[in-house]
């Protein structure tokens, strides 16, 4: 049997073609899609940046888990697009075992997700160093962002959208809701067709996340007025919008949350200057 390998010049050309295809500029926005490494996995990143900077503050938005990481895509992409059109930047990414990233979601720990958020932040800073990059999160992603920010040092501002700040309770409720939706029938280790982490009861509780947030530089929480309030330090401003949380959140509610979050970044930027 004869093995045929590609010529190095052809491999280099294909890589250049991929690099060209992974970047797009237009309407005042520069878009990059790329992969970065974290905990031995290859994670997908998507960066939205203004062609002309008008404000320095930018956010890596940490997603939620499973079904929520997909169903809240409208919130994430609307926020990132608004940030770029407003002269700023945002980065989205797929955590291990989700979307286009490699890895086993069921074997992913809180520590893995915190490291993924930290590595995503490093990737954003390397690609767009002209911005001041901070962490934000949607739902469970808020807990991950808060812990990652605490690990990185005191005084970092945070942006939370409809946060879930008790990871262990989050997975307990997710499993319960999936069982109700399936009239009691469900596959073990799954919720709404997505894997649950092994031993979710070992994930942090509300007290541990609250301790991490206490060391932050405050920030903004954007949520729907009818949602159960999550405990945050007094250094966080609350922006409450009409409506209440539901797992399949309507598009108009998602867009409203994203628009409010982008406006909140401008206010946060002024308070930091």
In a domain, 223, yes or no: yes
In a domain, 131, yes or no: yes
In a domain, 16, yes or no: no
Tens of pLDDT along the chain (273 residues) come to 333 334 445 545 655 665 666 877 878 899 999 999 999 999 999 999 999 999 999 999 999 999 999 999 999 999 999 999 999 999 999 999 999 999 999 999 999 999 999 999 999 999 999 999 999 999 999 999 999 999 987 678 999 999 999 999 999 999 988 888 876 665 678 888 899 999 888 999 999 999 999 988 889 999 999 998 888 999 999 999 999 998 889 999 999 999 999 999 999 998 887
* Domain at 216, CATH number: 3.40.50.1820
Residue 99 — φ and ψ, nearest 5°?
55, -130
Residue 165 — φ and ψ, nearest 5°?
-105, 25
In a domain, 13, yes or no: no
DSSP 121-183: HHHHHHH-TTSEEEEEEETHHHHHHHHHHHHT-S---EEEES----HHHHHHHHHHHHHHHTT
User: How many separate domains does the chain show?
Assistant: 1
In a domain, 3, yes or no: no
In a domain, 210, yes or no: yes
In residues, how long is the chain? 273
Domain that holds residue 123: 24-272
Q: Which residues contact 225 (CB under 8 A, 6 or more apart)?
A: 240, 241, 242, 243, 244
In a domain, 106, yes or no: yes
In a domain, 192, yes or no: yes
């Amino acid at each position: 049997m004869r093995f045929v390998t590609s010529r190095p010049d052809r491999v280099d050309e294909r890589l250049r073609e991929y690099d060209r295809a992974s970047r797009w500029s237009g309407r005042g926005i520069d878009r990059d899609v790329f992969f970065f490494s974290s905990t031995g996995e290859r994670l997908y990143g998507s960066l939205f940046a203004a062609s002309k900077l008008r404000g320095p503050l930018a956010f890596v938005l940490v997603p939620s888990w499973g079904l929520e990481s997909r169903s809240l895509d409208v919130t994430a992409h609307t926020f990132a697009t608004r940030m770029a059109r407003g002269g700023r930047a945002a980065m989205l990414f797929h955590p291990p075992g989700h979307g286009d990233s490699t890895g086993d979601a069921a074997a992913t720990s809180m520590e893995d997700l915190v490291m993924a958020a930290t590595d995503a932040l490093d990737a954003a800073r390397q690609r767009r160093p002209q911005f001041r990059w901070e962490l934000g999160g949607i739902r469970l992603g808020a807990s991950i962002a808060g812990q990652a920010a605490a690990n990185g040092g005191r005084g970092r501002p945070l942006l939370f959208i409809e946060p879930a700040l008790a990871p262990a309770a989050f997975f307990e409720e997710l499993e319960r809701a999936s069982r109700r939706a399936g009239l009691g029938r469900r596959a073990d280790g799954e919720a709404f067709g997505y894997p649950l982490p092994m031993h979710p009861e070992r994930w942090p509780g509300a007290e541990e996340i609250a301790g991490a947030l206490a060391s932050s530089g405050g920030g903004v929480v954007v949520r729907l007025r009818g949602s159960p309030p999550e405990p945050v330090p007094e250094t966080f401003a609350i922006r409450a919008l009409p409506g209440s949380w539901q797992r399949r959140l309507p598009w108009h509610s998602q867009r409203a949350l994203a628009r409010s979050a982008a406006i909140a970044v401008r206010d946060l930027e002024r308070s930091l200057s």
